[in-house]
Amino acid sequence: MPVAAGAVVGGWALAAGASVATAATVAAVTTAVVTGALVGAAMGAATALVTGGNIIEGVLKGALIGGIVGGAASWLSGAAEAAGAAAEAAATAEAGATAAEVGTGAATTAEAWTGETLPTLGADVAADMGTSAAAQAAEAARVAEAARVVTTPPTQGLLASVAPEESIQVQLAKIASQSKLDMAAANKSALLQSTITSGIGGVAQSYGNVLAAKKTAEAAKEAEIDRIARNQPGFLQTVTAKFKLPSDWLAILPSYKPQTGLLQKGGTT
């Protein structure tokens, strides 16, 4: 069984009661960069959604910029020169195969989701990896000290930084609320009509009215969301018209096919 050193460290730390998150593993990328990537991903995905673009491509574009802002500029800026990482078609087919065939064993693993079992789990992980008790203790002490220094999660309030004008959240809440009111009114109207028009025909008609009202309300809601999103000073609505993904990023995009739209090369719609 392949064993990663980082996991061993994590097991040791857990055995000593330290935090996995701050002592466990070799993370894929740094936390600062992760934060930038996540912010960019959220912005990119949302923009792609409302502009009818490819969500994954939107995420990649947002993450690319987010990574630069997050401190990864030195190696991300060279992305454009690193073209030709892999064959797209093979990658896409392979992705499906992996998802379909791997993981049957995962279901056999019993996970624990209570904090009380954490040290035990950590010890199990360490034991699975054949580490010695003395080495575990020494490493745990070292890691626990490191964890003590860097163990505080993010702090600042997210919504506190939103502009004072009516936020998207408030607007969306209003839409949802109005939509429910519309639906309630439509249902009430349809039911009233069914009581007036007695018989099966009347009931069928009222049912049709309900469905039609529901469809209309949903369409109106979608349109309103789209309008709001487009009217916001969205970052990617500008950005996506200004740059294209480097070719090595395009290579990892599943089933990428050039098409027109805000999220495409040139960005003209």
Partner 1 sequence: MKGLLEQAAVPGMAPTAPTMANPSVTPPAGAEPESVAGDFNQKDMDLFVVNGVKMIHNTKVSDDIIARVIKSENPVVAVADATLLIVGQLERSAASAGKKISLTTIAHGSNFLMGEIIASAEAAGMKKMDDKTKYQTFSLAMGKYLDEAIKTGKMTKEELIQMGKEAEGTPIGKKMAETAMQMEAPAAAPGASAEIGVPTGMPPATVPAGMPATGRV
Interaction between residue 178 and partner 1 (CB under 8 A) = no
Return the structure tokens found at 221: 């809601």
Return the structure tokens found at 117: 């079992």
Taking the C-alpha atoms of residue 238 and residue 170, their distance in angstroms, rounded to an integer, is 24
> Which positions from 187 through 206 interact with partner 1, judged by CB under 8 A?
none
> Which positions from 84 through 113 interact with partner 1, judged by CB under 8 A?
85-87, 90-92, 94-95, 98-99, 101-109, 111-113
> How does DSSP classify residue 74?
H
Candidate ranges 48-56, 130-138, 180-188, 203-211; the one touching partner 1 (CB under 8 A): 48-56
In whole angstroms, the minimum distance from the beta carbon of 176 to partner 1 comes to 7
Candidate ranges 11-19, 131-139, 183-191, 192-200; the one touching partner 1 (CB under 8 A): 11-19
Q: Are 122 and 13 in contact (CB under 8 A)?
A: yes
Among 52, 127, 128, 135, binds partner 1 (CB under 8 A): 128
In a 3-state reduction of DSSP, which class is residue 145? helix
Taking the C-alpha atoms of residue 69 and residue 45, their distance in angstroms, rounded to an integer, is 18
Return the structure tokens found at 202: 């009347």
Q: Are 248 and 82 in contact (CB under 8 A)?
A: yes
Report CA Rg, the chain. Answer: 26
Interaction between residue 127 and partner 1 (CB under 8 A) = no
Candidate ranges 64-72, 131-139, 183-191, 204-212; the one touching partner 1 (CB under 8 A): 64-72
In whole angstroms, the minimum distance from the beta carbon of 108 to partner 1 comes to 7
Q: How many residues bind partner 1 (CB under 8 A)?
A: 145
